Structure 1
Amino acid sequence: MSPTSDTALLVIDAQESFRQRRDDWAATANPQVFDNIALLVGHARAAGDTVAWVTHAEPGTGGVFDPESGFVRVVAELEPRPGEIQVTKTTVNAFTSTNLQAQLAARGIRRLVVCGIRTEQCCETTARIAGDLGFAVEFVTDATTTSPIPAGPGYAALAGDELMRRTESVLGGREFATITSTARRVRDVATRPLSA
């Protein structure tokens, strides 16, 4: 189905690079993240929403985010379709180093639904920038995940689930985004009248 709404689902960094960081991935706060993203993608497609896939690359680093590694690709459980937006960023947010904003504008998108990896990093930063750009933003926390931050100079350790709750408080409480869940988003999409 071709996009027929003013809504886009942004799938941020749901890529193989993260699973290649095996110790980090083993500590992920939300092991169901890809299942929940798959539900959102299926329902977005059925509703005629745009699906936009964002991956993160660090060219020339020799690590798992270097395109030469072969891991800068959407995980096998999720598969972009021809015609869906696909961009690769080199910044934390999905806009600054890509033409994502122009592609969304060309499709008449006014509302963004954000999911992906990492909750408090690329997903939260993208949501903040999107709000500043004038998009209405929904943040689907249980379709995101992150890993713990160990203590460092001048900052405390935080568990992954604490980071996820903090992101909800910051985005929701400071009105950058409406916080929602996969189940609620799927229900809302299923009951939304289809655009003519």
Structure 2
Amino acid sequence: MAKMHQTGVSPALIDFMKKRRGSVHIYDSFDPAKTALIAVDMQNAWLMEGQPAYLECGPGIIPNVNRLADALRGAGSMVVWLRNMHSEAKLDAWSNFFDFFGPNRRERMVAALTEGNLGSELHADLDIRPEDEIVEKMHYSAFTRGSSDLEDKLRARGIDTVIICGVATNVCCESSARDAHMLNFRTVVVSDGNATGSDLLHTGALNGLFAMFADVMTSEEVLVRLETTVAHAAQ
């Protein structure tokens, strides 16, 4: 059985935020037509053993990501799969990205995330459909200047809510969630739909997001809210 993180938002922080804002969660419902699932960097580089950025807990989130994609797609929501890609433009525009890697890993990461290489491809176990959007990004955040055209695609569809899952919790997912919030998207991060290199990093990222940037929910909590909204609309 694939390994998953055993931690989420800390109970002490949940209690603190409940007292501060009057409830644990911010969002009780989702309008499917205005909601998008953003699956961040679910590529072989992070999800396939032997690849340079492999995350032990990465493959374990694939079933939850697929469940969310299926439910949201079926309700009429937008489903977006992000791909983190390397290029000469990235090497020129964001050279300090590589300061955080040793020379050997730097070369392996560049190779893995170059178009046409196995590491750059979305994992084979993902349930990607023809109607889904696949968007390439250049930076950790899909929303920062020059990273991708994701914001334009969301605005064109009238999206006001983004549900974020993928890898890595504390890097691309957290960066994208923070920027989404500051661009006025209602932002939800799925605790059991994100993964990173350790429980410590996972929990730290979720805590920071939950405090001021995003509602943090389990995949089941997201699905229950979606099902309730759809049921009410059908009455």
| Fold agreement, TM-score > 0.5 | yes
The corresponding residue for 1:146 is: 196
The corresponding residue for 1:129 is: 179
In 2: Cα distance, 1:116 partner to 1:164 partner: 12
Report the alpha carbon displacement of residue 193 of structure 1 after superposing the two structures with TM: 2.5
Report the alpha carbon displacement of residue 4 of structure 1 after superposing the two structures with TM: 5.5
From 121, 132, 153, the equivalent of 1:84 is 132
In 2: Cα distance, 1:104 partner to 1:26 partner: 29
Report the alpha carbon displacement of residue 22 of structure 1 after superposing the two structures with TM: 2.2
- Give the 3-state SS of the residue equivalent to 1:8 in structure 2: strand
Unaligned 5+ segments in structure 2 are: 1-30, 89-106
Report the alpha carbon displacement of residue 87 of structure 1 after superposing the two structures with TM: 0.8
Residue 178 in structure 1 maps to residue 228 in structure 2: no
What RMSD in Å do the two structures reach over aligned CA positions? 2.2
Deviates more, 1:24-33 or 1:45-54: 24-33
Instruction: Letter of the 1:164 partner, please give it.
Output: H
CA deviations 1:65-91 (Å, max 9, x no partner) are 111313322111113222322111111
The corresponding residue for 1:101 is: 151
In 1: Cα distance, 2:213 partner to 2:200 partner: 19
Deviates more, 1:18-27 or 1:80-89: 18-27
Q: 1:50 to 1:26 in 2, by over 3 A?
A: closer
The structure where helix makes up a greater share of residues is 2
- Give the 3-state SS of the residue equivalent to 1:67 in structure 2: coil
Q: 1:165 to 1:39 in 2, by over 3 A?
A: same
Count of residue pairs the alignment pairs up: 181
CA deviations 1:137-162 (Å, max 9, x no partner) are 00001101111xxxxxxxxxxxx111
Q: 1:31 to 1:17 in 2, by over 3 A?
A: closer
The answer on whether the counterparts of 1:168 and 1:179 sit within 8 Å (CA) in structure 2 is yes
In 2: Cα distance, 1:139 partner to 1:26 partner: 21
The corresponding residue for 1:154 is: none
In 2: Cα distance, 1:46 partner to 1:192 partner: 13
In 2: Cα distance, 1:77 partner to 1:167 partner: 26
State the identity as a percent: 28
Instruction: Letter of the 2:123 partner, please give it.
Output: V
In 2: Cα distance, 1:93 partner to 1:65 partner: 16
In 1: Cα distance, 2:177 partner to 2:87 partner: 24
